[in-house]
Structure 1
Amino acid sequence: MLYNLPNFLTFLRILAIPLFVGIFYFPHTWLLPANQNLIAALIFAGAAITDWLDGYLARVMNQISAFGAFLDPVADKLMVSAALIVLVYLGRLDAPIALIIIGREIAVSALREWMAQIGRSKSVAVSFLGKIKTSSQMVAIPLLLYHDTIGDNFDAQQIGTWLIYVAAVLTLWSMFYYLKAALPQVLKEEKKNF
């Protein structure tokens, strides 16, 4: 089922990435910095909502497909990586935090692929800890993109910074959790090949 609504929403997320990044390259005579921040935050928030929505629709409409299961996490990782790189470029996020989050995504994706090849993908299925990490990240990034104060007292940059640090700690913690879950299988495979 390549052509269905959940996959269409996933494709939209991928297509939104160049627009999301490009917003910050518009001349300030076209789009003021505050408007760039707002539009980028809204695009990212929309992507986060469609991430939840496409999975929900796939289950409810019984349109779960192997292609969708492959494409959905790719779209998520591309959007989050693009956002983190933009935030580093704008000076709103420290590069080591972005490297921790992006590096973990690459490492865990590779681990999941390898575990799937040996028929043990359930050993590294998404954990509750991973879901908390993702939630923290999905709230932090739009706040960091928005950057400005909301109302009189809500400093989006400060709250976003705290949340992205929480996400970075949970990122490392969940990566070690997945590695610990996979280690017995790694050792078993090594014994077979030795």
Structure 2
Amino acid sequence: MNIANKITVSRVILIPIFLIFFLVPWHFGTFTIGDAVIPVQDFIAAILFIVASCTDWLDGHYARKLNLVTNFGKFLDPLADKLLVMSAFVPLVGFGTIPSWMVIVILAREFAVTGLRLVAVESGEVIAASRIAKWKTAAQMVALILLLFHNIPFGENGFPLAMIILWIAVVLTVISGWDYFYKNREILLKSK
């Protein structure tokens, strides 16, 4: 297993560790950042999420720089991204932090694009991640980091930056999903 794939595997391994700190009530106390009071365990979970998110960039960097692109990496890297993002989104819905419909839109797009990729593979084609899909993933991860830090507000009215970025992520999710299906429509038409 090459270094890029090891980094991807480390992202998957970090997910349950992140969830243990995020979901188990440890009662380590709290501290304040600006007006936000953040439990220490949530801060640790946020740091773990940041580290895991950075491995997404790092594995791709090494795979391209050292020409270490493998089928295993093509399979596991997007799966690891989806697992990481959903492991944060789903509990945030359960906590009432974010609306469930936003996560449903994101999940629906992920399932649809994954299905499209499976159909493409059966046709001998590979659908690479588009630039807009990479922006979508980045927006999701930034929104999640801010949400894990308890919506640290900004601006005059204190509107949470996390929700603005989450809205951007949802819009990019819809646009990127449409983009994948439009650009690859002939794959679906051939599969009839």
Identify whether the pair has TM-score above 0.5, normalized to the shorter chain: yes
The 8 Å contact of residues 5 and 73 in structure 2, kept in 1 or not, is answered as yes
What residue in structure 2 maps to residue 19 of structure 1? 17
Q: How far does residue 154 in structure 1 lie from its aligned partner after superposition?
A: 10
Q: How far does residue 61 in structure 1 lie from its aligned partner after superposition?
A: 2.4
Q: List alignment gaps of at least 5 residues for structure 1.
A: none
What residue in structure 2 maps to residue 74 of structure 1? 79
Relative distance call for 1:114 and 1:22 in structure 2 (3 A) is same
Residue identity in the other structure for 1:145 = L
Relative distance call for 1:148 and 1:154 in structure 2 (3 A) is farther
2:144 to 138, 141, 154: 141
- Where 2:166 maps in the other structure, the secondary structure is helix
What residue in structure 2 maps to residue 111 of structure 1? 116
What residue in structure 1 maps to residue 33 of structure 2? none
Q: Which structure has greater helix proportion?
A: 1
- Residues 1:180 and 2:182 aligned together: yes
Distance in 2 between residues matched to 1:11 and 1:154, nearest whole Å: 42
Distance in 1 between residues matched to 2:191 and 2:141, nearest whole Å: 36
Residue identity in the other structure for 2:116 = L
2:63 to 58, 80, 94: 58
Relative distance call for 1:142 and 1:162 in structure 2 (3 A) is same
- Where 2:182 maps in the other structure, the secondary structure is helix
Relative to the length of structure 1, the TM-score reads: 0.85
Q: Matched residue pairs, number?
A: 185
Q: How far does residue 141 in structure 1 lie from its aligned partner after superposition?
A: 0.7
The 8 Å contact of residues 88 and 95 in structure 1, kept in 2 or not, is answered as yes
Distance in 2 between residues matched to 1:153 and 1:69, nearest whole Å: 44
Q: List alignment gaps of at least 5 residues for structure 2.
A: 31-37
Distance in 2 between residues matched to 1:154 and 1:28, nearest whole Å: 33
What RMSD in Å do the two structures reach over aligned CA positions? 2.3
What residue in structure 1 maps to residue 3 of structure 2? 5
- Where 2:160 maps in the other structure, the secondary structure is helix
Identity of aligned residues (%): 37
Relative to the length of structure 2, the TM-score reads: 0.86
Distance in 2 between residues matched to 1:53 and 1:24, nearest whole Å: 24
